[in-house]
């Protein structure tokens, strides 16, 4: 299934994509797409419904963030060996973990705001994991049972804030609009092998990232297992799993986003995003 949220910011309603690619309203079935509705029981209930019987949503449709009330937005750095190389950093022995502020979360096609004093605004297409079941100290063999689905994420980054302003990475990762997620939560039954997905990103029509999740250093199951050793994971939490090479920082010379630039990105079978950079 492809679950989604549509409508004006703050007024989103739950929906589902039918077999013909039309948006159908789920408001009479569930209240929203959030932790409680991502449980196995809830997803089975939704899957049992004939989506063609649900109210059709007329175009145009704004897609909101595909999950609401995200408790934790956890990110993994340097999770592709070739991206670590272009960043001039070693492949980590253990996952590099940082957080994005949940206030950074936006819809997949909403504008990206260039912060005040930003000089090195960058892009990162990433596979997102959506947690569907509470877990703490989960065994590796059981980790996939705690994943509800996956989504597209643009881990927008300000490299000056991230790398040149002291302290942790978070200040260059959590600015408003730096977390477009969606358009869909694609349930894991539709993603038989999350380590065999093509992902790409273009800026102003030029392809900069064109990679595959098969080059991840640490895969989704391991990441859920690993993170659960340090913190419990709750339904609705989002994990952004790292980016392939081709970010602005890795260009020679480096290339960064300016007001008016347009990013387009997507992951095989998970839909696409499109954002325009605007001034703060």
Query: pTM for the full model?
Result: 0.96
Contact 133, 39 (CB under 8 A): yes
Name the band, by pLDDT with cuts 50, 70 and 90, for residue 121: very high
pLDDT recorded at residue 54: 97
pLDDT recorded at residue 84: 79
Query: DSSP for 119-135?
Result: --EE--EEEEEEE-S-B
Q: What is the mean pLDDT of the chain?
A: 96
Instruction: Report whether pLDDT(91) > 90.
Output: no
pLDDT recorded at residue 35: 96
pLDDT recorded at residue 66: 98
Instruction: Report whether pLDDT(4) > 80.
Output: yes
Domain ranges for the chain, please list them.
2-53, 73-279
pLDDT recorded at residue 169: 85
Q: CA separation (Å) from 220 to 74, 90, 168, 198, 231?
A: 13, 21, 24, 15, 16
pLDDT recorded at residue 144: 97
Instruction: Report whether pLDDT(199) > 80.
Output: yes
Dist. CA 274–CA 109, nearest whole Å: 5
Q: CA separation (Å) from 252 to 200, 246, 249, 277?
A: 19, 10, 8, 22
CATH architecture of the region 73-279: Alpha-Beta Complex (3.90)
């Amino acid at each position: 299934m492809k679950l989604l949220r549509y409508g004006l910011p703050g007024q989103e309603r739950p929906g589902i994509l039918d077999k013909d690619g039309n948006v159908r309203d789920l408001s009479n079935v569930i209240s929203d797409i959030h932790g409680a509705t991502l449980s196995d029981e809830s997803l089975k209930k939704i899957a049992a419904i004939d989506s063609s019987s649900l109210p059709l949503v007329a175009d145009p449709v704004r897609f909101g963030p595909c999950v609401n009330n995200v408790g934790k937005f956890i990110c993994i750095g340097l999770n592709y060996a070739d991206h670590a190389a272009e960043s001039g950093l070693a492949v980590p022995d253990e996952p590099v973990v940082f957080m994005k502020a949940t206030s950074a979360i936006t819809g997949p096609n909403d504008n990206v705001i260039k912060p005040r004093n930003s000089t090195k605004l960058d892009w990162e297409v990433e596979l997102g994991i959506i947690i569907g079941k509470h877990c703490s100290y989960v065994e590796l063999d059981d980790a996939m049972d705690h994943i509800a689905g996956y989504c597209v994420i643009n881990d927008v980054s300000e490299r000056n804030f991230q790398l040149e302003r002291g302290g942790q990475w978070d200040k260059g990762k959590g600015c408003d609009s730096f977390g477009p997620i969606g358009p869909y939560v694609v349930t894991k039954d539709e993603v038989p092998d999350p380590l065999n997905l093509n992902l790409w990103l273009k800026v102003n029509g030029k392809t900069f990232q064109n990679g595959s999740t098969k080059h991840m250093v640490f895969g989704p199951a391991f990441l859920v297992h690993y993170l659960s050793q340090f913190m419990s994971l709750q339904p609705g939490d989002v994990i952004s799993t790292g980016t392939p090479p081709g970010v602005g920082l890795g260009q020679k010379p480096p290339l960064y986003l300016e007001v008016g630039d347009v990013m387009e990105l997507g992951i095989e079978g998970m839909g696409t995003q499109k954002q325009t950079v605007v001034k703060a």
